[in-house]
Amino acid sequence: MSMNTVGRPTRPEGAAGPAGFASLTGGRGLLQDEPLIFELGGWDKTGVDLPEPEADASDLAGLVREDLPLPGLSEPEAVRHYVRLSQKNHAIDLALYPLGSCTMKHNPRLNEKAARLAGFADLHPLQPASTIQGALALMDRLAHWLKTLTGMPAVALSPKAGAHGELCGLLCIKAAHEAAGQGHRRKVLVPTSAHGTNPATAAFVGYAVTEIAQTDDGRVDLADLEAKLGPDVAAIMVTNPNTCGLFERDVLEIARLTHAAGAYFYCDGANFNAIVGRVRPGDLGVDAMHINLHKTFSTPHGGGGPGAGPVVLSEALAPFAPAPWVLSAADGFQLLEEPTGDAAQAFGRLCAFHGQMGMFVRAYAYMLSHGSDGLRQVAEDAVLNANYVKARLSDVMSPAFPDGPCMHEALFDDAWLEGTGVTTLDVAKAMIDEGFHPMTMYFPLVVHGAMLIEPTETESKAELDRFCETLRALAAAARQGQAERFKGAPFLAPLRRLDETLAARRPKLAWRPEPATVAPAPSAAE
Amino acid sequence: MRYLPLTPDDRAQMLGVIGAPDIDALFADVPRAARLAGPVDLPAHAGEMEVERALSALAALNRPAGAGPFFCGAGAYRHHVPATVDHIIQRSEFLTSYTPYQPEIAQGTLQVLFEFQTQVAALTGLDVANASMYDGSTACAEAVMMAKRVTRRGKAILSGGLHPHYAAVTRTLAEAEGMQTVRQPAAVDAEAAVVDAIDDQTACVVVQTPNVFGVVTDVSRIAEAAHAKGALLIVVTTEAVAFGLLKSPGEMGADIAVAEGQSIGNALNFGGPYVGLFACREKFVRNMPGRLCGETVDADGRRGYVLTLSTREQHIRREKATSNICTNSGLCALAFSIHMSLLGGKGLGRLARVNHARARELAAAVAGAGVEVLTPRYFNEIAVRVTGSAAALVDALAADGILAGVPYSRLDPHAGLDDVLLLAATETTTSEDIAALTAALSAKAAR
Amino acid sequence: MRFTKDHEWVVLEGDTATIGITAYAAEQLGDVVFVETPEVGKTFQAGDAFAVVESVKAASDVYAPIAGEVVEANPELTEAPETVNASPESGGWFAKVRVADPAQYEGLMDRDAYEAFLATL
């Protein structure tokens, strides 16, 4: 036989590497240590081929800048730079992303495709009406779905995010009070468990914020609400389902008391995904509610925006909705862009054009895909998944409100960590080592060491089980005194815990050339 | 249903674990009167092909900008975006992640934001920039309200060349917050007129260059006048490509620069989502609205990035926050930053010069067709005076397949400028497009 | 040294009061990252918000424990806000104030009373 012994070993040998192994480059295998674009060179480079300008800029003498020191990258360098960076991010496409109150659900790619159709993406906001009938029709249909799903008669589409929507709702309320000679109402009531945006928005509009107490079972304290309602109250802002993941059982009574006091009921619709298709806020006595299209209707979160926050409005508030309005006439759709005619009472304008059209297309595609039956199933599965997580973890963690069902998110406090030396933050960081994004931590503020888990309807039972087993294993490790597993976590992420104190004390918010690397200025003698 | 993984069997098993008899039991807290018995009156679910067909049908009712001669600007501009940009922003790790609250597993987004902030600071000639705002108009309003926090004064003076929608948004938001806004009469070339209105109650003056009529202005004198009275100068730019050619706001003495960043990396999208740019001098950083990303180190001393100075933000400061804003425009900022990284300073300079050259050709051609050009110094957009109503003219030319710009009256119907038409040219505008426009204008004039 | 229930301290020398936040407050806030000291020349009533202290966790108003006019703000806090954590009741002072009514000083808690108050929290 002729024996060929050339070749490479096909099983691992010497598996135990040196202790404290570190690569020579600072990277971690496929996770490259990627410099900033400013450190990659390319100060005279460009990755875009452009023609020579046919004319000079002599007509702009004295108005032209001398230099613009920014680096350029060729296309392959740019692709690598951003792909390497991308690999340092967690994403809903990688694993369950249980960030309570943020609703990280699957983003269908059909919606991306639809938003990129030239008939939507390559459309200027100020084209003549005859050339944008399809865009206006889409806005009109989206409005119809939103109104039907919420049982509300009107909707303002232009707010660009949830907080912008809150602003829109409160400005409608303010305008309505002023129109009715009730401008002296200067107070807004907000539960202690509210999103931080609620008091921030109310204060922004010039209202004084008064907190409403919460009951032991995590709901608005009706007696406290009644005591604080009065002729000086403009509105209440209540999230329902609330930030504890609970439905406000007494919502009809909350609405009745509020209206009896002459105030409006603003509902923070951040959690509408829990009830869409099963409950219409219009049937609960709500006067205004923003809908985060990036939550309930799954437009992508994009690393922090863009969002979209249309606001549904009651009959009483509808006349005050901001410009522009989409109007339907016999000869097609029109945009009413100024507070005139039908929109004479509009409180003003919230953004330059008509809102987040790109998000409208995605949300409408999502609605058509699910349909009325599917959206109802979305709410049911979201609530079922959250209750399943709560049931599977209640014996090892401590649910903040153990009695009764939760809605779309399960809230735990940190009582289960007592005596372990492990904090909520440590648990969150240890989850990173296990491949999951942490849950929302320390919110809502009314629960000590809060851990708010929102699985959404996107998760299969298998993924939920994997997640629950992981948390159970972490709970066991904490009880067994393995505090070091938590305190130093994460160990396996692209970076370890970051020094946020240093970042805030010595803010470094832009790259600047190291003094040594700057070429010395030519001396005057040369 | 393709987006929902649970099977009926899964659901039954899970209800068993929960100890609930049926799904309705989980909605027991909803008042009986408010529970819907069945689906609302809307169509049932549809397959991917049906949905695509429905949306394509709506899209087909529109006339895309790229379908023929096109000259619209006035705050949104059609530019060529490299294919790389749209490819990268659709990567799962960028598209389907959220605000980087957990920096250890969000360094990709955070490093991009740090690079973006540095790019925006360089473009505007200022020290620091935030991680973006909703759009240019809301950035403008936020800048005015920031000036109130810095100066503790309550009046803002808006120039007559500020985009009317920006003025309207600023008025709506700043007046809600208790400020007074004074907008000067619309005027093609009168940014400097704000100087006469500055008094010791003035928090800021807001000027735009290039302004809504396309006029480029050196605002240095305005800066001096504002500073002499203790007021801030806010400079607005709606066409970010102009930063490649024109003196930066910082160089001319601006305290705050805001801009619409759509032109770089982002499609027209019928008005949104866009990306607001916001930069200011270092000493004002703690009064800045919006998110900020900063450099730091991790437990092993390795360089990394975090969201910082977040105590200014609503989730910690609540009713004392500098702004109620919760999100930035992350993915649009990413698109901006990728396009900007491909261009580099050199490429943006070239792109800006090409835009300017196209506008010079446009201006010469319309003037040759007997149309009066009102804009004395322009970047890539001009205002012209037409015979009769500009809106009627635009409607008529649209019927002929030409999108002949934006009638000023559409932005500001009460200014008495019904015969003013705004025309923009970019690198996408061809000589054939310009010839088609001038031929149509001549034909209308002859009629 | 005298104290308030909002955890400010005051030392009165002649008609000049030096004001800061207590060691307890500095401990509770965690790492201080920024201090906005009051402008020299501004006057405050007792109880007015007169400074802001930011930690990584929270931004808090600091109330004037005593009425008066600001004559000096601690310049060190701009460059080194961590001084508030390192020496809250000495080097980490916020401002010096010319006091309008020294009698207000006597109305504040002494250290024993403040310690007793802390014990109730």
CB B49 within 8 A of CB B306: no
- B316/C55 touch (CB, cutoff 8 Å), yes or no: no
Is residue A326 within 8 A of residue A300, CB to CB? The reply is: no
Kindly list the residues from chain C whose CB atom is less than 8 angstroms away from the CB atom of residue A424: none
Query: What does the pLDDT read at residue B323?
Result: 64
A8: CB partners within 8 A, 6+ apart? none
Domain limits, CATH 3.90.1150.10, in chain B: 65-73+344-446
Return the DSSP state at B99.
S
Q: Residue A240: pLDDT above 60?
A: yes
Cβ-based interface (< 8 Å): residues of C facing A:
31, 33-34, 54, 56, 81-82
How many cross-chain Cβ pairs, A to B, lie less than 8 Å apart?
Answer: 698
> What pLDDT is attached to residue B326?
59
Q: Where are the beta strands (DSSP E) in A229-299?
A: 233-239, 264-268, 288-290
The model's pTM is 0.94
- A160 and A283, same structural domain? yes
Q: Residue A424 corresponds to which amino acid?
A: T
With CA atoms as reference, the chain C residue closest to B286 would be C34
Strands of the sheet containing B155-158, edge to edge, are B128-129, B276-280, B256-260, B232-237, B202-208, B155-158, B180-183
Mutate to test the interface with C, among B311, B317, B318, B320 (most CBs of C within 10 A): B311
Which residues, at least 6 apart from A512, have a Cβ–Cβ distance to it below 8 Å?
none
Chain A: closest CA distance from residue B230 (Å): 24
The pLDDT value recorded for residue B327 is 65
**Rounded distance between C-alpha atoms, residue A206 and residue B70, angstroms:** 44
**DSSP code string of B329-377:** -HHHHHHHHHHHHHHHHHHHHHHHHHHHHHHHHHHHHHHHTTPEE--SS
Inspect the interface and report whether the beta carbons of C56 and B286 lie closer than 8 Å.
Answer: no
pLDDT of residue A65: 96
Chain B residues whose CB is inside 8 A of the A83 CB are 88, 91
Please, which residues have CB within 8 angstroms of residue A343's CB and are 6 or more apart in sequence?
A321, A323, A325, A336
Buried b (16+ CB within 10 A) or exposed e, A304-321: bbbbbbbbbbbebbbbbb
How would residue C79 be classed by pLDDT, with cut points 50, 70 and 90? confident
Binary contact (B316, C57; C-beta < 8 A): yes
pLDDT at B153 over 60: yes
User: CA-CA distance, A277 to A370, in Å (whole number)?
Assistant: 11
- Please tell me if residue A49 touches chain C, with a CB cutoff of 8 Å: no
CB atoms within 10 A of CB B271: 26
Question: Per the domain annotation, does A97 fall within a domain?
Answer: no
Q: Does A161 reside within a domain?
A: yes
- Inspect the interface and report whether the beta carbons of C36 and B286 lie closer than 8 Å: yes
Q: What CATH number is attached to the domain comprising C72?
A: 2.40.50.100
In the Cβ-directed half-sphere of A278, how many Cα atoms lie within 13 Å?
26
The helix/strand/coil state of B155 is strand
B320 and C CB contact within 8 Å: yes
Sign of CA dihedral A352, A354, A355, A361: negative
- What CA–CA distance (Å, rounded) separates A204 from A202? 5
Whether residue B14 contacts residue A461, with contact meaning beta carbons closer than 8 Å, is answered with: yes
pLDDT for position A523 = 44
- Subunits with at least 3 CB pairs below 8 A relative to chain B? A, C
Whether B60 contacts A134, CB under 8 Å? yes
When divided into structural domains, chain C yields a total of 1
Contacts for B15 with CB less than 8 Å, ≥ 6 apart: A384, B21, B22, B23
User: What single-letter amino acid sits at A329?
Assistant: A
- Residue C9 and residue C25 in contact, taking contact as beta carbons nearer than 8 Å: no
pLDDT band of residue A514 (cuts 50, 70, 90) is: confident
Cα–Cα distance, A199 to A188 (Å, whole number) = 8
**C-alpha distances out from residue A154 to A201, A305, A313, B107, Å:** 22, 25, 5, 41
Q: Are residues A362 and A381 in the same domain?
A: no
- pLDDT digits 0-9 by tens, C22-36: 999 999 888 898 898
In this structure, the answer to whether residues A269 and A377 fall within a common structural domain is no
Average pLDDT over residues A139-151: 98
Q: Are strands B202-208 and B232-237 parallel, antiparallel or unpaired?
A: parallel
**Looking at CA atoms only, how far is residue B114 from chain C in angstroms?**
20
Q: Do residue A138 and residue A203 come from a single domain? A: yes
Q: What pLDDT was estimated at residue A18?
A: 67
Return the SS3 of C102: coil
A508 touching chain C per CB within 8 A:
no
Residues belonging to chain C with any Cβ–Cβ distance to chain B shorter than 8 Å: 33-34, 36, 54-59, 61
Domain count, chain A: 2
Comparing C-alpha atoms, which of B343, B22, B265 is closest to residue A71? B343
Q: Would you say residue A335 lies in a domain? A: yes
CB B375 within 8 A of CB B382: yes
Which pLDDT band, with edges at 50, 70 and 90, does C55 fall under? Answer: confident
pLDDT tens, residue by residue, A282-293: 999 999 999 999
Answer for the pair A251, A274: CB distance below 8 angstroms, yes or no: no
> Using a CB-CB distance cutoff of 8 angstroms, which residues of chain A are in contact with residue B359?
none
Query: What pLDDT does A196 receive?
Result: 82
**CB within 8 Å: B311 and C36:** no
Pairing, β C43-44 against β C68-73: antiparallel
pLDDT at position B444 is: 78
Task: For residue C59, give the chain B residue with the closest CA.
Answer: B311
Nearest to A459 among B5, B173, B403 (CB): B5
How far, in Å, are A20, A152, A454, C73 from residue A290 at the CA level? 51, 12, 20, 45
Amino acid at C115: E
**Is residue A93 within 8 angstroms of chain C, CB to CB?**
no
Q: Provide the ipTM.
A: 0.97
Contact flag C82-A500 (C-beta cutoff 8 Å): no
Assess whether pLDDT exceeds 50 at residue B41.
Answer: yes
Residue burial A241-251, b: 16+ Cβ < 10 Å; e: rest: bbbbbbbbbbb
* Range A52-75 average pLDDT: 94
Same domain, A389 and A345: no
Query: A438 vs chain C: nearest CA distance in angstroms?
Result: 19
- The pLDDT, as a whole number, for residue A194 is 86
Q: Which domain holds residue C82?
A: 2-118
Q: How far apart are CA B219 and CA C30, in angstroms?
A: 45
Both A308 and A390 in a single domain?
no
Closest CA to A508 of B257, B308, B290: B308
Mutate to test the interface with A, among B62, B72, B389 (most CBs of A within 10 A): B62
Q: Is B11 on the interface with C (CB under 8 A)?
A: no
pLDDT > 80? residue B402: yes
Distance from CA of C117 to the nearest CA of A (A): 24
- Judge: C59–B320 Cβ closer than 8 Å, yes or no: yes
Cβ neighbours of C54 in A, within 8 Å: 504
- Measure in Å the smallest separation between the Cα of C109 and chain A Cα atoms: 30
Q: What is the CATH number of domain B65-73+344-446?
A: 3.90.1150.10
Q: B422: part of which helix (H) or strand (E)?
A: strand B420-424
| A58 domain residue, yes or no | no
Task: Name the average pLDDT for chain B.
Answer: 95
**pLDDT exceeds 70 at position B358:** yes
- B27-56 residues touching A, CB cutoff 8 A: 27-31, 33-36, 39-46, 48, 50-52, 54-56
| Range with the poorest average pLDDT among A172-176, A339-343, B360-364 | A339-343
**What distance in Å separates the CA atoms of residue B160 and residue B185, rounded to the nearest whole number?**
5
Longest dimension (CA), chain B: 82
Q: CA nearest B333: which of B260, B275, B288?
A: B275
A526 at C interface, C-beta within 8 A: no
| Smallest Cα distance from B311 to chain C, Å | 6
CA distance A62 to chain C (A): 39
Q: CB A504 to CB C56 under 8 A?
A: yes
Provide the pLDDT for residue A520. Answer: 47
Q: What residue numbers bound the domain in which A479 lies?
A: 373-495
- Radius of gyration (C-alpha) of chain A in whole angstroms: 28
Q: What is the CATH number of the domain that holds A471?
A: 3.90.1150.10
At residue B347, what is the residue type?
Answer: G
Residues of C in contact with A449 (CB under 8 A): none
Crossing angle for the helix pair A461-479 and A357-393, to the nearest 10 degrees: 50
| C105 min Cα distance to partner chain A (Å) | 32
Is the pLDDT assigned to residue A515 strictly greater than 80? Answer: no
B14 interaction partners in chain A (CB closer than 8 Å):
384-385, 387-388, 461
Sign of CA dihedral B170, B172, B174, B175: positive
Name the 3-class secondary structure at B434: helix
Task: Flag whether pLDDT at A519 surpasses 60.
Answer: no
pLDDT at residue C57, as a whole number: 72
Per-residue pLDDT, A487: 95
A270 with A211, same domain: the answer is: yes
Establish if B102 touches chain A: CB-CB under 8 angstroms: yes
Q: How many CB pairs under 8 A join B and C?
A: 19
Q: How far apart are CA A45 and CA A72, in angstroms?
A: 5
A199 and A179 in a single domain? The answer is yes
**CATH 3.40.640.10 domain residues, chain B:** 83-339
Say yes or no: A333 and A379 in one domain: no
Cβ–Cβ gap B311/C58 under 8 Å: yes
The residue type of B330 is G
Question: What's the whole-number average pLDDT of chain A?
Answer: 93
The pair of three-digit structure tokens given for residue A415, joined into one six-digit string: 């009582």
Residues A288 and A361 in one domain: yes
Residue from A268, A355, A113 nearest B95 by CA: A113
Which range has the worst mean pLDDT, A230-234, B176-180, B210-214, B360-364? B176-180
Contact B317 C59 (CB under 8 A): yes
Q: Which residues pair with A288 in a beta bridge?
A: A266, A313
The domain that holds A298 is classified in CATH as 3.40.640.10
What residue of B is the nearest CA neighbor of A40? B341
Query: What is the pLDDT confidence band of residue A525, given thresholds at 50, 70 and 90?
Result: very low
Q: Residue A182's CB: how many other CB atoms inside 10 A?
A: 15
pLDDT higher than threshold 90 for residue B20: yes
Strands B420-424 and B406-407: antiparallel
Q: Does domain B83-339 have CATH number 3.20.20.140?
A: no
Specify if A73 maps to a domain: no
